[in-house]
Amino acid sequence: MENLSKRKVGGIVAENFRAAKVFSEYGIDFCCKGGITLEKACEVNNVSMGNILQDLKNAVKTPEEVHFTDFGLTDLINHITTTHHRYVENSIPALKTYLQKLVLVHGGKHPELIEIKDEFFKAADALTSHMKKEELILFPYVKAMEEAQSSHFNLSKPHFGTIENPIHMMEDEHDTEGERFRLISELTGGYMTPADGCQTYKVAFAMLQEFEEDLHKHIHLENNILFPKATELFHKLNP
SS (H, E, C) the chain: CCCHHHCEHHHHHHHCCCHHHHHHHCCCCCCCCCCCEHHHHHHHHCCCHHHHHHHHHHHHCCCCCCCHHHCCHHHHHHHHHHHHHHHHHHHHHHHHHHHHHHHHHHCCCCCHHHHHHHHHHHHHHHHHHHHHHHHHHHHHHHHHHHHHHHHCCCCCCCCCCCCHHHHHHHHHHHHHHHHHHHHHHHHCCCCCCCCCCCHHHHHHHHHHHHHHHHHHHHHHHHHHHHHHHHHHHHHHHCC
Could you tell me if residue 189 is left (phi over 0), alpha (psi between -120 and 50 degrees) or otherwise beta? left
Give per-residue pLDDT as tens, 21-70: 888 889 888 866 778 999 999 999 999 999 999 999 888 876 666 788 88
Percentage of residues of the chain with pLDDT beyond 90: 71
Highest-pLDDT range among 137-141, 152-156, 235-239: 137-141
Which one is predicted more confidently, 18 or 222?
A: 222
Q: Is the pLDDT of residue 2 over 60?
A: no
- What is the residue-averaged pLDDT of the chain? 91
pLDDT band of 20, cuts 50, 70, 90: confident
| Model confidence at 154: pLDDT above 90 | no
> For 17-30, b where at least 16 C-beta lie within 10 A, e where not — what string?
bbbbbbbbeeebbb
pLDDT at 96: 97
Torsion angles phi and psi, residue 37, rounded to 5: -75, 160
Mean of pLDDT values over 105-120: 96
Report residue 14: phi and psi, to 5°. -60, -35
Question: Which pLDDT value is given to residue 239?
Answer: 85
Report whether 10 contacts 31 (CB < 8 A): yes
Give pLDDT tens digits for 168-190.
999 999 999 999 999 999 999 99
Instruction: Give helix 86-106 / helix 199-220 axis angle, nearest 10°.
Output: 150
Return the domain boundaries, the chain. 4-60, 68-237
pLDDT of residue 1: 47
CA atoms lying within 13 Å on the CB side of residue 154: 4
